[in-house]
Amino acid sequence: MTQAVSIRVRGQVQGVGFRPFVWQLAREFGLRGRVWNDPEGVGIEASGARLEEFVAAISARAPKLARVDAVEVLKFFGELPQGFEIAESLGKGAETRVTPDAATCPDCAAEIRGAGRRKGYAFTNCTHCGPRFTILRGLPYDRAQTTMAAFPMCPDCRAEYGDPSDRRFHAQPVACPACGPRLWLEVAGREVHGDPVALAVERLRAGEVLAVKGIGGFHLACDAGSAAAVALLRDRKRRPSKPLALMGQEAALARVAVLSEADQALVRDPAAPIVLVPSRGVLPEGVAPGMGQLGVMLPYTPLHHLLLDAFGGVLVMTSGNLSGEPQVVDNDEARAKLSDFADAFLMHDRDIARRLDDSVERADPPMILRRARGRVPGTLPLPKGFGGAPQVLALGGQMKGAICLVKNGQALLGHHLGDLDDALCAEEFGKAVADYSALFDHRAERVAVDAHPGYRATMVGREMGLPVAEVFHHHAHLASCLAENGWPLDGGPVAGIVLDGTGLGPDGTIWGGELLLGDYLEVERRGWLRPAPLPGGDRAAREPWRNALVRLDQAGLSGWADELFADLPREVLRQAVAKGINAPMSSSTGRLFDGFAAMLGICGEAQSYEGEAAMRLEAIAAGEGSLRFAVDGGVIDPAPIWGEVRAELAQGVLAAELAWRFHAGLAEAFATLARGLVQEGEAKAVVLSGGCFQNALLHRLTLEALGDAPFMVHRVTPANDGGLALGQAMIAAARALRGAESD
């Protein structure tokens, strides 16, 4: 290859040092030409004797933060410069990916601890790390389009920014103490003079609560080793038992948690997520009441590094927000909303363009529980058969809101937006739709929504004036897992085990424990949990004893229910159920978990956060064997397990062993039916989806029970409702391509 070529590089290739990387490659291979950014990614025009080696190296040696989807090569017949130059960015609009925010790289971490001009500087970054999506206002990704536009570069930073051999070449957030954002400690609305990090550490060691401004929003921080400080934070935030995230340097985290090699690799990932790991049991119980795991993360900004270096231990680092509301991002907003929680504020003057919570993940089995900072706005390639799909906007569900955009062969699943029954979260949802659509130059041709007419996202979608694809909840779950795993449009039917809390089914009842057979276009229900009433409707999700009562009554064990819940209004509830008053029937697996936990005395009367009872049940589970669910014609009935549990409790069997057997019995019941569909040739594989499969024990036991049946699981998109929009989008796209109009 000796002629001149035009090269198009597509993928996550802006804001990662790709142009200087190409410049250095070109010099290495003796080429002349140019490289530039534009809305489609990176463009290159080059000529020289070693073009083939150059093209091969673009993918093979790409920068760490880059994701190269395609390298397209065409002949070029135009003029080229004598050397190789980095040209100005071209055009507006967006056909390329934006790089997620990335944790501080080793070079920058060493620099803030060194003796140079960035010693102790809390906003140090380079092309290998730092804020990206959280400071971006528009594309292409240039400084003028970010919140760093307010900080003109000093001569030293300008020299680094303009030098292709420097790791800060075109690093848009580049700054130093002479020209960049500044940090200060504030108390009662007034700045406290002195070193803000040292002042903050003094207060943390004194047991105070600090509000700390990060890159995606504010955190509330306190000393994780102080039971009094943790209790103070919980009392102020009115968060009695939901686990608190922790941040510390790796050596400090190793003293409080057990990190496997996989855990270590994940916490060190540039995304720097919160990772769930086994606890050593040395921290106060108040950090994660009833849990055997801790959510830990490494410092991911220079500010965090400086703070943790000076503090020396582990800090609670939980979202700075009022309960149920979005994370606070603005300084004035923080003063107004967090003053009742925080004794002091560690603040800076770089604006946050969009709020992003911390991602939450698990290394074993690999899964994302909350997809946010560090993971968005990454995209997924559409599976085979979806070429030519229209631009689709999918709006997700009511809980764990997230949207999805389909365009040009890619699906972009947005960040965690919270629960849309909260007014401010709903407002953020509206902003996200406008933000993503503008940022990625997305012009939706149709909108996909959940079939539930009362969901806020559904109502918004219907008012957009676009063709609407209504998608039933559990079909969307199945399709989201198919899409993540690249299952082709014509790949054939799969058996989908979809276990979650609640979602509207096509029969008008509330589903949540389903075995589906189907694909992107259609599904049929081939198995399900025996339905039970949800006494009190939404209250059944908050008060687990209600679910235990109705399941025990179904099993003919009303007398035992009377013993277990003697002080609770059982008869009033039974009368309401008998009359069908606010007691819809549901096959919910989530409510079955709640009921079983309540029967064992776990969170019986109430749970203070979603999933608490099920998480505590998983946390205590240990043993072997399984409880036997009855299976008849596809109906999985838990009625037999209750009498067995009562008898074993009377014999002194521990709750931990019964918790294990419950998980195993549920897994075996669904896996047996799903495996049968594969063995009989009706399904080509088994899919696991729905929020219950974020339970690592249930996930593992179900896979074991499937034996050698091929399977697909979620790894990079949430199994819970945070991934729902991806499935909705794929179903809408499939219908458009096949001309189908109904689910």
328 to each of 131, 216, 331, 332, how far by Cα in Å?
Answer: 17, 9, 8, 10
Surface-to-core class of residue 617, CB atoms within 10 Å of its CB (0-12 exposed, 13-18 middle, 19+ buried): buried
Residue 743 has a pLDDT of 42
Query: Rounded CA gap, 476 and 481, in Å?
Result: 9
Q: What is the pLDDT of residues 472-487, one digit of tens each?
A: 999 999 999 999 999 9
Distances (CA, A) of 493 to 489, 686, 724: 10, 9, 19
Burial class (CB in 10 A: 0-12, 13-18, 19+), 15: buried
Residue matched to tokens 């919570």: 357
Average confidence (pLDDT) over 438-453: 93
Read off the pLDDT of residues 220-253 as tens digits, 9 standing for 90 and up: 999 999 999 999 999 999 999 999 999 999 999 9
Classify the phi-psi angles of 33: left when phi > 0, otherwise alpha if psi is within -120 to 50, otherwise beta: left
523 phi-psi bin (left φ>0, alpha ψ -120 to 50, beta other): beta
Nearest to 348 by CA among 246, 220, 218, 233: 218
Residue 523 CB contacts under 8 Å (≥ 6 apart), including other chains: 474, 475, 478, 496, 516, 517
Helix axes 612-620, 655-679, angle to 10 degrees: 100
What is residue 371's predicted lDDT score, i.e. its pLDDT? 96
Please say whether the beta carbons of 133 and 49 come within 8 A: no
Question: What number does CATH give the domain 5-86?
Answer: 3.30.70.100
Cα(518)–Cα(514) distance, rounded to whole angstroms?
A: 12
Pair of tokens at residue 220: 């509330």
Strands (DSSP E) along 39-92, which ranges?
41-47, 67-75, 84-86
Q: For 609-613, what is the mean pLDDT?
A: 94
Q: How confident is the model over 342-399, as pLDDT tens digits?
A: 999 999 999 999 999 999 999 999 999 999 999 999 889 999 999 999 999 999 999 9
For domain 529-712, is the CATH number 3.30.565.10?
no
Question: In this model, does residue 209 exceed pLDDT 90?
Answer: yes
What residues form DSSP beta bridges with 184? 347
∠ CA 429-431-435 to the nearest 5 degrees?
120
Distance CA 737, CA 735 (A): 5
74 forms beta bridges with 6
pLDDT for position 99: 83
Q: Can you give the pLDDT at residue 604?
A: 87
Three-state DSSP class for 689?
A: strand
At residue 740, the pLDDT reads 47
Q: What is the pLDDT of residue 16?
A: 83
Mean pLDDT of the residues in the chain? 94
Beta bridge partners of 413: 404
Is residue 147 within 8 A of residue 349, CB to CB? The reply is no
Which DSSP helix (H) or strand (E) runs through 697?
A: helix 696-706
Prior bond of 326 cis (ω within 30°): no
Confidence of residue 741 (pLDDT cuts 50, 70, 90): very low
Output Rg (C-alpha) for the chain, integer angstroms. 27
Whole-number pLDDT of residue 38 = 84
Bridge partners of 585?
533
Separation of first and last alpha carbons in the chain: 51
Confidence of residue 98 (pLDDT cuts 50, 70, 90): confident
By C-alpha distance, which of 512, 696, 514 is closest to 594?
Answer: 512
How far apart are alpha carbons 233 and 254 in whole angstroms? 24
pLDDT in tens, 644-695: 999 999 999 999 999 999 999 999 999 999 999 999 999 999 999 999 999 9
Structure confidence at residue 93 (pLDDT): 55
Distances (CA, A) of 291 to 230, 324, 371, 654: 16, 21, 22, 18
pLDDT tens sequence across 53-92: 999 999 999 988 888 988 999 999 888 998 999 887 776 6
Q: How far from the centroid of its chain's Cα atoms is residue 682's Cα?
A: 33
pLDDT (0 to 100) of residue 96: 53
Q: Provide, rounded to the nearest whole percent, the portion of the chain with pLDDT above 90.
A: 85
Average pLDDT over residues 177-186: 98
CA distance 566 to 553: 14
The candidate with the shortest Cα–Cα distance to 320, out of 398, 226, 241, 244, is 244
Structure confidence at residue 408 (pLDDT): 87
Q: Residue 223's Cα: distance from chain center in Å?
A: 26
pLDDT above 90 for 325: no
Q: What pLDDT shows up at residue 739?
A: 82
Residue 742 is predicted with a pLDDT of 40
Q: Where are the domains of the chain?
A: 5-86, 183-361, 378-471+718-738, 529-712
Residue type, 430: G
In this structure, what token pair is assigned to residue 523? 């599904």
Question: In terms of DSSP bridges, do strands 585-586 and 686-689 run parallel, antiparallel, or are they unpaired?
Answer: unpaired
The class (CATH top level) of 183-361 is alpha beta
Query: In the beta sheet, which residues pair with residue 366?
Result: 363
Single-letter residue type at 439 = L
Options 2.130.10.10, 2.40.50.180, 3.30.450.20, 3.30.420.360; which CATH number does 378-471+718-738 get? 3.30.420.360
Q: Taking a C-beta distance cutoff of 8 angstroms, is the pair 654, 477 a contact?
A: no
Q: In sequence order, which residues have a C-beta less than 8 Å from that of residue 664 and are 6 or more positions away?
A: 625, 626, 627, 701, 705
Mean pLDDT of the region 525-538: 96
Q: Which residues pair with 247 in a beta bridge?
A: 297, 315
Judge if 5-86 and 378-471+718-738 fold alike in CATH terms.
Answer: no
Mean pLDDT within 594-613: 95
Residue 319 pLDDT > 80: yes
- 402-427 burial, b if ≥16 CB within 10 A, otherwise e? bbbbbbebbbbbbbbbbbbebeebbe
Helices 589-599 and 655-679, interaxial angle, to 10°? 160
